Amino acid sequence: MILGITGGKGGTGKTVLAVNIALALADLGRKVTYLDCDTDCPSAHILLSATLGKKQEVRSFIPAIDQDRCMKCGTCVAKCQFNALYMPRGKTPQTAQSLCSGCKACVLACPYGAISGSSKAIGWTYRSKKHGLELFSGKLKPSEPLSEKMVEAVKQRGFEEGRGEIFIVDTSAGAHCPVVRALEGCDRAFAVTEPTLFGESDLAAIEEVLGKLGIPHGVIVNRSTISSRKINGAALEIPYDRDMIDCYVLGVPIIRALPEHPLSRKISDFARRLLK
Ligand code: SF4
Ligand code: SF4
């Protein structure tokens, strides 16, 4: 099972719940591999107090123009959808590296075979283990825009090296491309939200994405008691609780710190229902 945990809005406690659900599934005897696909701000390892290890560099293709072969026809410049190539008058094309997605369309388009490959580092993936969970994370290099590529790198490494029976895919907040990339291939997903106007609005956006991807999904309402707003049909409701906040501050999942706490039991029951 590949289970996506997502949420249109940031700050809803998505990763806190994803980590606790993953641990609850592990406690039920399942091998769980956790893929932290929020590569701009990975945080699952912090919540698990895990040390990121087994660092691997992630690189992305950058075109290199052969000055002797290039006939200055401009085909590659016209083909690049990201405006990453430009051609100063009378010169061979230049690359704006920060705009290049590494799609290689320019290589295929060049009629003279004048474009070969170079590459640049865009970030790193990590593998670690804590509380019986296998964790794969990614960190995008500061100022690099290729979040989607980093998400792909985390998923590729996680699925290749991970030994889980269950994979938890924790996406970043929002409904943008890196979230879509993370959710692709999930068997089912849950969108974590909160009972606020903003929460409901962003929930609608992520549910639209999940609908377009054809992923069966449900809703988890976190801090469900912070307002009188009601989000109907939630698969799990977690009331606001000071103990949950304290565990978050200390970097220990509540299911580990307080296994008999009503919230821990609620999350365990939810994990049990997931396996039915
Ligand atoms: S690899 Fe893609 S994005 Fe980069 S310069 Fe070539 S066509 Fe443009
Ligand atoms: S398509 Fe090839 S030959 Fe034409 S400008 Fe680009 S690199 Fe040069």
* Degrees to nearest 5, angle at CA 275 with 271 and 276: 120
Confidence (pLDDT) at 120: 92
Between strands 32-36 and 133-140, the pairing is parallel
Q: Of 19, 25, 58, 52, which is closest to residue 129 (Cα–Cα)?
A: 52
d(CA 108, CA 79): 10
153-163: average pLDDT: 97
Local structure of 214: helix, strand or coil: coil
- Ligand 2 mean position, distance from CA 129 (Å): 48
Residue 11 is predicted with a pLDDT of: 86
Which of 59, 87, 104, 115 has most ligand 1 atoms within 8 Å of CB, for mutation? 104
* DSSP sequence for 217-244: EEEEEESTTSSS---TT-SEEE---HHH
Listed by start position, the domains of the chain span 2-48+131-274, 59-121
Q: Which of 98, 100, 107, 116 to mutate to test the pocket of ligand 1 (most atoms within 8 A of CB)?
A: 100
Cβ(115) – ligand 2 distance below 6 Å: yes
Average pLDDT for the chain? 95
Residue 8: the pLDDT is 78
pTM of this structure: 0.91
Measured from the Cβ of residue 78, the count of other Cβ atoms closer than 10 Å reads: 12
Fold that domain 2-48+131-274 belongs to in CATH: Rossmann fold (3.40.50)
- Which tokens is 242 given? 């000071």
Using pLDDT thresholds of 50, 70 and 90, give the confidence band for residue 139: very high
Q: For residue 276, what are its two tokens?
A: 């039915």
Residue pLDDT, tens place only, 207-251: 999 999 999 999 999 999 999 998 989 999 999 999 999 999 998
Q: State the average pLDDT over residues 185-213.
A: 95
* pLDDT for 117: 87
The whole-number pLDDT of residue 157 equals 98
User: Rounded to 5 degrees, what angle do the CA atoms 61, 65, 68 make?
Assistant: 155
What is the distance between the alpha carbons of residues 257 and 175, in angstroms, rounded to a whole number?
Answer: 32
Among all bound ligands, the one having the nearest atom to the CA of 120 is 1
59-121 belongs to CATH 1.20.1330.10 = no
| Chain-centroid distance, C-alpha 211 | 18
Range scoring the smallest mean pLDDT among 6-15, 112-121, 158-167, 259-268: 6-15
Which one of the ligands is nearest to 117 CA? 1
Tell me, what's the pLDDT at 240?
Answer: 96
Q: Please report which ligand is nearest the Cα atom of 110.
A: 2
